[in-house]
Amino acid sequence: MFNFYKFVMKKITLLMAAMFSMAFSANAQYNVNGHKFWDNWSLGVEGGVTTNAHDWDTPNGAVVGINATKGITPVVSFEFGITAGFNNNANWNKIKSPNVLDNVSFIASTKLNLMNWFCGYKGTPRFFEIQARGGFGYQRWFFPGAWVNNANNNDLSRPVAKFGFDFDFNLGESKAWTVSLRPAVVMNLTNDCKDGFYQGYQIPCGSGCTAYGHNVVGQITAGITYHFKTSNGTHHFATVQPQVVTETVEKIVEKPVEKIVEKVVEKQVATGTNIYVVEFEQNKSNLSNTAKATLDQISNGTTVILDAYASPEGAKSYNQKLSQKRADAVKGYLENKGVKVADSKAHGAESKSSQRVVYVRIK
């Protein structure tokens, strides 16, 4: 039994580490606004039934809970939940407790919106969405004093893990309300059953403990969630269309230029005979075929000056490094084909409408 739980715990830890890593990297994958700290918070309640994982057709108790969720990106969010179990002690111990309230769980989870992850986010939540979630927490049990070897020592605590799916229906034109069906499993991450009793307690746990049978329970709950309004005036993330800043181009060429129309990634924008615009995909520094075709228009032996930029998503230090990588990529490509680079500057994101480009100016 011990080796089994050690193996499961290791796999769960690796999975959660990967999910948390995605939370901090996915923000750069979406050009959205409404992601300040107090944006994309929601509050929900849920209730349903619970049963032992080896006896799904016989629900043995009820669960109710409340949860707060913070959206990090259209794909990743964090949920903090408190769940109370009523008359469900038999799910774990094969015997029922006289207490109505058997346990309380505190669980922090990472949620992944699978629809937005695989199909993209279009600027508003879909009517139906599926989210995967998983997390760790702490569960507190409550027993009558007569059940244990010390009347003053009548509680039992242990770490737990919870995994499941949310089947969400986003209602209304504003998508401020969500109704969900939330199946899940809860795992006891300790091996606290020995010789038919919980260690340190005279609480019988039954022979099922030796075969893992009473260390996993299933839950099926239904809930409703309200999404608070964000700084962008909606109840969710809003997409932002890329724009080119005329002032940025004017600064580079040191004279007024005509206003540049909205761009599409990898499409060259002509700003004059002495400047070329090389565009990059979001969070990328490699040259696309279209970008290379733009650079191939510059004759060998020409001397140029480079100014590299990044869009405003992400941290300032990250944008600075990203613009430097883009400048280096353009410089390396030009020098390999015989173009002299007299100067190369990385500017990062200079404004909210700064773009993912490198300007190549003929000296």
Quick one: pLDDT band at residue 32, thresholds 50, 70, 90? low
User: What CATH number does domain 2-239 carry, 2.40.160.20, 3.30.365.10, 3.90.470.20, 3.30.420.40?
Assistant: 2.40.160.20
Instruction: Say what the pLDDT of residue 200 is.
Output: 44
Percentage, residues of the chain above pLDDT 90: 37
Digit-coded pLDDT (tens) for 151-203: 444 457 778 899 999 999 999 888 999 999 999 999 888 755 554 545 444 44
As beta bridge partners, residue 276 has: 360
Give dist(CA 342, CA 362) in Å, integer.
Answer: 10
Digit-coded pLDDT (tens) for 107-133: 999 999 999 888 888 888 999 999 999
pLDDT higher than threshold 80 for residue 241: no
pLDDT higher than threshold 70 for residue 258: no
Give dist(CA 44, CA 145) in Å, integer.
Answer: 34
- The answer to whether the CB of 341 falls within 8 A of the CB of 331 is yes
Cβ neighbours, 10 Å, residue 280: 27
137: Cβ–Cβ under 8 A, 6 or more apart, which residues? Answer: 105, 106, 107, 108, 159, 160, 161, 162
Instruction: Say what the pLDDT of residue 153 is.
Output: 46
| Neighbour order of strands in the sheet with 340-346 | 275-279, 357-362, 303-308, 340-346
Instruction: Say what the pLDDT of residue 92 is.
Output: 58
pLDDT higher than threshold 60 for residue 7: no
pLDDT higher than threshold 80 for residue 267: no
As beta bridge partners, residue 127 has: none
Rg over CA atoms, the chain: 28
Rounded to the nearest integer, the mean pLDDT of the chain is 77
Instruction: Say what the pLDDT of residue 245 is.
Output: 46
Q: Which fold has domain 246-362?
A: 60s Ribosomal Protein L30; Chain: A; (3.30.1330)
**Count of residues making up the chain:** 363
- The answer to whether the CB of 296 falls within 8 A of the CB of 314 is no
Query: Long-range contacts of range 313-319, CB-CB < 8 Å, 24 or more positions apart?
Result: 313/27, 313/28, 313/30, 313/31, 313/282, 314/27, 314/28, 314/283, 316/348, 316/349, 318/28, 319/348, 319/349
Instruction: Say what the pLDDT of residue 217 is.
Output: 84
Instruction: Say what the pLDDT of residue 359 is.
Output: 93
Looking at residues 208-215, what average pLDDT do you find? Answer: 45
Instruction: Say what the pLDDT of residue 232 is.
Output: 82
| Sign, Cα dihedral of 320, 325, 330, 334 | positive
As given in the structure block, the two tokens for residue 103 are 């346990």
Instruction: Say what the pLDDT of residue 37 is.
Output: 84
Instruction: Say what the pLDDT of residue 8 is.
Output: 54
Nearest 10 degrees: Cα torsion 44, 50, 56, 57: -100
Give dist(CA 137, CA 83) in Å, integer.
Answer: 11
pLDDT higher than threshold 60 for residue 63: yes
pLDDT higher than threshold 60 for residue 227: yes
- The answer to whether the CB of 346 falls within 8 A of the CB of 331 is no
Quick one: pLDDT band at residue 96, thresholds 50, 70, 90? low
Instruction: Say what the pLDDT of residue 332 is.
Output: 93
- The answer to whether the CB of 178 falls within 8 A of the CB of 45 is no
- The answer to whether the CB of 127 falls within 8 A of the CB of 170 is yes
Digit-coded pLDDT (tens) for 42-54: 999 999 998 877 6
pLDDT higher than threshold 70 for residue 147: no
Which alpha helices (H) appear in 146-302, and where do they start and end?
246-253, 289-295
Give dist(CA 98, CA 87) in Å, integer.
Answer: 8
Looking at residues 320-343, what average pLDDT do you find? Answer: 92
pLDDT higher than threshold 50 for residue 149: no
Give dist(CA 242, CA 228) in Å, integer.
Answer: 26
Instruction: Say what the pLDDT of residue 212 is.
Output: 36
Quick one: pLDDT band at residue 229, thresholds 50, 70, 90? very high
Cα distances (angstroms) measured from residue 120 to each of 74, 114, 239, 266: 9, 9, 11, 19
pLDDT higher than threshold 80 for residue 269: no
DSSP-assigned letter for residue 288: P
**Residue 21 or 78, more confident:** 78
Instruction: Say what the pLDDT of residue 90 is.
Output: 59
As beta bridge partners, residue 106 has: 82, 138
Burial of 37 (0-12, 13-18, 19+ CB in 10 A): exposed
114, amino acid identity? L
Give dist(CA 165, CA 328) in Å, integer.
Answer: 44
The domain segmentation of the chain, as residue ranges, is: 2-239, 246-362
Give dist(CA 248, CA 297) in Å, integer.
Answer: 23
Instruction: Say what the pLDDT of residue 303 is.
Output: 92
